[in-house]
């Protein structure tokens, strides 16, 4: 790795070591946590946040689709479908963190199909119903994540699809698909991520399955930068809102 790359990683690791503040507004906490690492965010998360490309592929964006990303951060996910931006009807990127949204605006570069919104994922609503809504490693950072899921369901047109990729903890007796974790790992990862405001649990996937018609679930493990030999569980979920697609 180049010296510039190492310095970039050091800036991110310093922010992670400081952690997410516990005082002040949610927007203020996020700005103070992500501000110093905003320019280095994408490079480091490329190795940490697995399954993002696969989730977008499984979400099956169609020409003419209206798409929303909640907790969009730097807008990195745009790169997964930049070649299809022109044929989509609209893409709305929603996030509560100004420093990351500044990166997203730079990335969108005034593209007429892309809207960038500073707003809470639990409340923001589009002008017209969406065909696809997704969250990439955002729900685990939203304290009232069930409100964000309910809000996403309200945004979707009947038959519309939701995609989620995020960290998780296996249920104590294993998941319906047989995904299991040892007792130590089930306690280690939630404790480890809590410092950075990332909440790991098994209820997130459970609530998605309760709230939508499940199309696909994958439960996997990801490597972590600088922690050789350790793997953290994550899931990929695709769900459908009941009703006939228009």
Ligand X SMILES: C[S@@+](CC[C@H](N)C(=O)[O-])C[C@H]1O[C@@H](n2cnc3c(N)ncnc32)[C@H](O)[C@@H]1O
Residues that bind ligand X (CB under 6 A): 26, 30, 45, 49, 52, 70-73, 76-77, 94-97, 100, 120-122, 136-138, 141-142
Residue number, 180 or 203, with CB nearest to ligand X? 203
Residue number, 70 or 179, with CB nearest to ligand X? 70
> What region, left, alpha or beta, does residue 120 occupy, with left being phi > 0 and alpha being psi -120 to 50 degrees?
beta
Nearest to 73 by CA among 101, 46, 47: 101
**Residues paired with 117 in a beta bridge:** 94
Task: Please list, in sequence order, all residues whose beta carbon lies within 8 angstroms of the beta carbon of residue 1, skipping any fewer than 6 positions away.
Answer: 9
> At closest approach, how far in Å is the CB of 1 from ligand X?
21
Q: Which residue's Cβ lies closest to ligand X?
A: 73
Residue number, 81 or 137, with CB nearest to ligand X? 137
User: What tokens does 40 get?
Assistant: 């280095």
Q: How is residue 143 annotated by DSSP?
A: T
Q: How is residue 127 annotated by DSSP?
A: S
Residue number, 141 or 169, with CB nearest to ligand X? 141
> At closest approach, how far in Å is the CB of 142 from ligand X?
4
Upper half-sphere CA count for residue 165 (Cβ side, 13 Å): 19
> At closest approach, how far in Å is the CB of 94 from ligand X?
6
Q: What are phi and psi of 84, to 5 degrees?
A: -110, 5
Alpha-carbon gap, residue 30 to 21, rounded angstroms: 8
Residue number, 92 or 120, with CB nearest to ligand X? 120
> What region, left, alpha or beta, does residue 239 occupy, with left being phi > 0 and alpha being psi -120 to 50 degrees?
beta
Burial zone of 165 (CB within 10 Å; 0-12 exposed, 13-18 middle, 19+ buried): buried
**Residues paired with 92 in a beta bridge:** 68, 115
> At closest approach, how far in Å is the CB of 104 from ligand X?
9
Residue number, 57 or 176, with CB nearest to ligand X? 57
Residue number, 120 or 219, with CB nearest to ligand X? 120
> At closest approach, how far in Å is the CB of 113 from ligand X?
18
Alpha-carbon gap, residue 105 to 181, rounded angstroms: 39
> At closest approach, how far in Å is the CB of 41 from ligand X?
7
């Amino acid at each position: 790795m180049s010296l510039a790359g190492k310095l970039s990683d050091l800036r991110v690791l310093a922010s992670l070591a400081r952690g997410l503040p516990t005082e002040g507004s949610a927007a203020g906490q996020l700005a103070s946590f992500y501000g110093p690492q905003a320019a280095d965010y994408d490079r480091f998360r490329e190795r940490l946040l697995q399954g993002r490309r696969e989730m977008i592929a499984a979400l099956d964006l169609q020409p003419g689709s209206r798409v929303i990303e909640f907790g969009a951060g730097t807008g990195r996910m745009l790169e997964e479908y930049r070649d299809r931006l022109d044929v989509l009807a609209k893409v709305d990127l929603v996030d509560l963190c100004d420093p990351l949204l500044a990166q997203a605006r730079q990335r969108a570069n005034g593209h007429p199909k892309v809207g960038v919104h500073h707003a809470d994922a639990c409340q923001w609503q589009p002008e017209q119903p969406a065909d696809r809504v997704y969250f990439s490693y955002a729900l685990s950072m939203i304290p009232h994540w069930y409100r964000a899921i309910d809000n996403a369901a309200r945004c979707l047109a009947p038959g519309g699809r939701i995609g989620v990729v995020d960290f998780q903890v296996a249920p104590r007796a294993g998941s319906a698909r047989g995904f299991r974790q040892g007792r130590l790992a089930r306690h280690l990862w939630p404790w480890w991520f809590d410092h950075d405001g990332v909440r790991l649990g098994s209820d997130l996937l459970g609530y998605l399955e309760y709230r939508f018609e499940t199309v696909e679930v994958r439960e996997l493990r990801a490597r972590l930068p600088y922690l050789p030999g350790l793997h953290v569980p994550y899931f990929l979920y695709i769900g459908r809102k009941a009703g006939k697609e228009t």
